[in-house]
Amino acid sequence: MTEPILDAAPALDFDLKSLPKVSLHDHLDGGLRPATIIDLAEAVGHTLPSTDPVALGEWFRESADSGSLVRYLETFDHTIAVMQTKEGLFRVAKEFVEDLADDGVVYGEVRWAPEQHLQNGLTLDEVVEAIQAGLDAGVDAVAETGREIQVGQLITAMRHADRGQEIAELAVRHRNNGAVGFDIAGAEDGFLPARFRDAFTYLAQHNFPATVHAGEAAGLESIQSALVDGRALRLGHGVRIAEDITVEFDDEDSEEGDNADDSIGMVTLGELASWVRDRGIALEICPSSNLQTGAIAGFGEGIESHPLDMLYQIGFNVTINTDNRLMSGVTLTDEFELLVETFDYDLDDLLELTLNAAEAAFLPLEEKEALVEYINDAYANLA
């Protein structure tokens, strides 16, 4: 009983879950409920590693944590297998919205790759429509509980495949039916955004926004290509932009006991890092996922080595996200709690990170302003 409690609960005396949140980077096929996977797998005759919801949830988390990319990717084989029918897509999308709302999310963008859901003969347009119907039903279900949420689709092309143009056209075709942006996902290393240059040009010509996964499994070259070839308005993760930043501490400043605000030494940004910071390109940081996938391994070992704090302190447009809630076993509330525990973030920090996300949302200006006002009011009412 005399031992100090090292991992005390966060020093915040309010309910993190109830804070209004904005989720910009959350994969549909990485956020299913285990019980739903079991139901849908039974309906389509797909064999799972377990048919017990708790054990299956653990299997997903352990596989994602195993350090083996093969095991990590195998997790998506199971979620994608049960998302090949209109019924499956509808249910997953509807529950996705309900789960976001339960996490306090008031605006979310859900990304998914239509080309991965055609195994049973559905067309690209049919799968987008099935997802939109599910999202709409989810929004309605949330409204029935007296809450509000808005969710948009980020139509994603797989990097290892060759359907970028087709998927870009699909996204633009559905811009008035729920599609708010475009992304490329999957193996980053070896698959530069430049491979999709024509698709990104098509999107730009149609004034359709893109976020691009870059700076997660690959470094600065990938980020550069996302910005130049992809005309990315946001970077999926983007965390390895920190490789273009040098921080020198002078001896006196590096004494222990400095608080977080002045613990950053002399910071020098390369041209690419300057561009990303100075232009306010949003970084869709996913703390737990970044740790699991080794995206931040070059910066040190634990979550405390995540460069997100340094990036945030020196003015990058940092947003906080979950990536794959099932595989990482996290919610956005958990990720906020992690930041409070790790970096001593307070309410002002959480508000700033949330407003960053609201302002980076692929929404028209007037809707963004309304979202910002809603968030500001909710935080003001906490005081």
The residue among 108, 131, 136 whose CA lies nearest residue 21 is 108
Is residue 69 within 8 A of residue 58, CB to CB? The reply is: no
Out of 98, 115, 216, 335, the active site residue is 216
Which of helix, strand or coil describes residue 239? helix
Considering the complex, what minimum distance in angstroms separates the CB of residue 286 from Zn ion? Answer: 7
Looking at the Cβ atoms of 38 and 332, the one nearer to Zn ion is: 332
Looking at the Cβ atoms of 122 and 240, the one nearer to Zn ion is: 240
Considering the complex, what minimum distance in angstroms separates the CB of residue 24 from Zn ion? Answer: 10
- Has 216 been annotated as catalytic? yes
Q: Assign residue 178 a region (left: φ > 0; alpha: ψ between -120 and 50; beta: otherwise).
A: left
Please, where are the H alpha helices in the chain? 34-44, 53-65, 69-81, 86-102, 124-144, 164-173, 197-205, 220-228, 271-278, 287-293, 308-313, 325-328, 332-343, 347-360, 365-380
Q: How many residues bind Zn ion (CB under 5 A)?
A: 1
Considering the complex, what minimum distance in angstroms separates the CB of residue 324 from Zn ion? Answer: 7
The residue among 34, 61, 58 whose CA lies nearest residue 328 is 61
Looking at the Cβ atoms of 234 and 277, the one nearer to Zn ion is: 234
Q: How far is Cα 376 from Cα 49, in angstroms, rounded to an integer?
A: 44
Looking at the Cβ atoms of 27 and 33, the one nearer to Zn ion is: 27
Looking at the Cβ atoms of 323 and 349, the one nearer to Zn ion is: 323
Compute how many other C-beta atoms are within 10 angstroms of the C-beta atom of residue 1: 2
The residue among 174, 178, 193 whose CA lies nearest residue 138 is 178
Instruction: Tell me the CA distances in angstroms from 17 to 13, 14, 101, 137, 336, one per residue in order.
Output: 12, 9, 10, 23, 9
The contacts of residue 60 (CB under 8 Å, 6+ apart) are: 34, 75, 326, 327, 329
Is residue 237 within 8 A of residue 219, CB to CB? The reply is: no
Compute how many other C-beta atoms are within 10 angstroms of the C-beta atom of residue 3: 5
Considering the complex, what minimum distance in angstroms separates the CB of residue 177 from Zn ion? Answer: 23
Q: Which two tokens stand for residue 339?
A: 């930041």
How many residues belong to the chain? 383
Looking at the Cβ atoms of 241 and 375, the one nearer to Zn ion is: 241
Considering the complex, what minimum distance in angstroms separates the CB of residue 62 from Zn ion? Answer: 20
Considering the complex, what minimum distance in angstroms separates the CB of residue 72 from Zn ion? Answer: 12
Looking at the Cβ atoms of 109 and 323, the one nearer to Zn ion is: 323
- Chain position whose Cβ is nearest to Zn ion: 323
Contacts to Zn ion from residues 316-355, by CB under 5 A: 323
| Residue the block writes with tokens 């990938």 | 222
Considering the complex, what minimum distance in angstroms separates the CB of residue 73 from Zn ion? Answer: 13
Query: Contact letters (x/-) for Zn ion, 279-318, by CB under 5 A?
Result: ----------------------------------------
Query: Contact letters (x/-) for Zn ion, 12-31, by CB under 5 A?
Result: --------------------
Q: How far apart are the first and last CA of the chain?
A: 34
Which of helix, strand or coil describes residue 323? strand
Contact residues for Zn ion, defined by CB under 5 A = 323
Residues annotated as part of the active site: 216
